[in-house]
Structure 1
């Protein structure tokens, strides 16, 4: 299937000091992260934002993939950045936050992570039906586009592929079980009003990780896709400050 306009991957080769991997959300595309990537690139940071398998084409393609495919894609990008940059960070929005947490669990060498409205569960009462429902119903209404800012548009699917959603549910369980393995510095930014990911998600993450350096920021003027919303400039600026601080501390550590 052809790639949706705007859904292309984002790549920038900048400094060899700092590299950032951007992970977009479920049914979303790199378009939701492009402004963030451009801000990082303008600061001289090396950036990678892959288009996850099954995303950015047709929702039926996403039903042909699963969490192992999405994770493999970001893991490959992380390996490339590790071979290029001294300090490497992973940033994730929504399911991108889930993948970022999994990367942190499996790669202790990761310098730090930034999470924006990360997902690790859902409080929907019908969620337990998803594994069975996904075998007979291909999709339901989509979740893309939860943005407060007038005129802002997210490039994503208007349907939620249920087989893929059931796979995401399995990834959530793995990530929740291993939250104690996350020990890197963490910057977590969550929207005060989010119609996709409930506040309990961020609380579960913050209560479960074992990082000694944790900062939580509440975004008062954005919905779920905060990287395209009113608070995007604060998200971008805060993340740049975070990576420079952590990189500086790592460089200045005694041998």
Structure 2
């Protein structure tokens, strides 16, 4: 199995405050590298796993499901837990969905940062996806929704339908348990997003139980905001969020 150059997982060691970052679907850690390096420069330990089936061939992704992706994120969390006393989770798009699942399963998490997370979608094709996945391996890709010129997201130009169906199953699982999620949350959503509709973050805000939630709108970025014009805002506000919630000596 050959991994795309630049798609490798990221591991950066710093203080005893850690951040596990999760990339989206069908993307790679490349979309999170700037965020990871900014957090590391602020002194934090960072892990960005490469989710199973991603960063190789799109056909590999069709042999995986949400349990595989979540399992890899959980491994990264456990790695950080062995060296860090305080851990935050963050994610972009489906990575935000998985990071939210991690927060639901790991009550010790200190906070959650989400950038254009996916919790729901209203695309008409989703109605036939349960059957379509058996007769059609993939559809056109969904990566690269970036406003900033000449900026590339490393990922697949196909959307494998079996793995996409698995992702939709996780939407319901996570959304059903959102009322019990009450840790501090920082949410970024792009004013213009061609991949994830406003229905997604509206569903999240309507269901989540947290009373410590900050919602910031990104006015100059599309879906892949961590590679777009507002990336620095995401990075800087994330550090401020972590600083606010990190115990001081």
| Runs of 4+ that moved beyond 6 A | none
Distance in 2, matches of 1:56 and 1:155, equals 8
Q: Corresponding residue for 1:76?
A: 75
What is the deviation of 1:229? 0.1
Q: Corresponding residue for 1:195?
A: 194
Distance in 2, matches of 1:5 and 1:68, equals 25
Q: Corresponding residue for 2:233?
A: 234
Distance in 2, matches of 1:94 and 1:211, equals 20
Pairwise mapping of residues 78-97 of structure 1 onto structure 2 (< 5 A)?
A: 78-97=77-96
What is the deviation of 1:203? 1.1
What is the deviation of 1:180? 1.2
Per-residue CA distance 1:53-98 (angstroms, 9 max, x = gap): 0000000000000000000000111112122112100000000000
Does the residue aligned with 2:134 lie in a helix, a strand or coil?
A: coil
**Structure 1 residue 173 and structure 2 residue 181: aligned?**
no
Distance in 2, matches of 1:245 and 1:27, equals 32
Q: Corresponding residue for 2:106?
A: 107
Please list every run of 5 or more consecutive structure 2 residues that lacks an aligned counterpart in the other structure: none
Q: Corresponding residue for 1:164?
A: 163
Per-residue CA distance 1:172-228 (angstroms, 9 max, x = gap): 110111111211100000000000000111111111111121000000000000000
Does the residue aligned with 2:14 lie in a helix, a strand or coil?
A: coil
Q: Corresponding residue for 1:8?
A: 8
What is the deviation of 1:20? 0.2
Per-residue CA distance 1:91-114 (angstroms, 9 max, x = gap): 000000000110111111110000
Distance in 2, matches of 1:59 and 1:181, equals 35
Does the residue aligned with 2:152 lie in a helix, a strand or coil?
A: coil
Q: Corresponding residue for 1:38?
A: 37
Q: Corresponding residue for 1:26?
A: 25
CA RMSD of aligned residues (A): 0.9
Contact 1:108–1:183, Cα closer than 8 Å, also in 2 = no
What is the deviation of 1:21? 0.2
Distance in 2, matches of 1:135 and 1:89, equals 38
Q: What TM-score comes out, normalization by structure 2 length?
A: 0.98
Distance in 2, matches of 1:193 and 1:2, equals 35
Distance in 1, matches of 2:244 and 2:10, equals 24
Per-residue CA distance 1:19-72 (angstroms, 9 max, x = gap): 000000010000000000010111110000000000000000000000000000
Distance in 1, matches of 2:122 and 2:159, equals 17
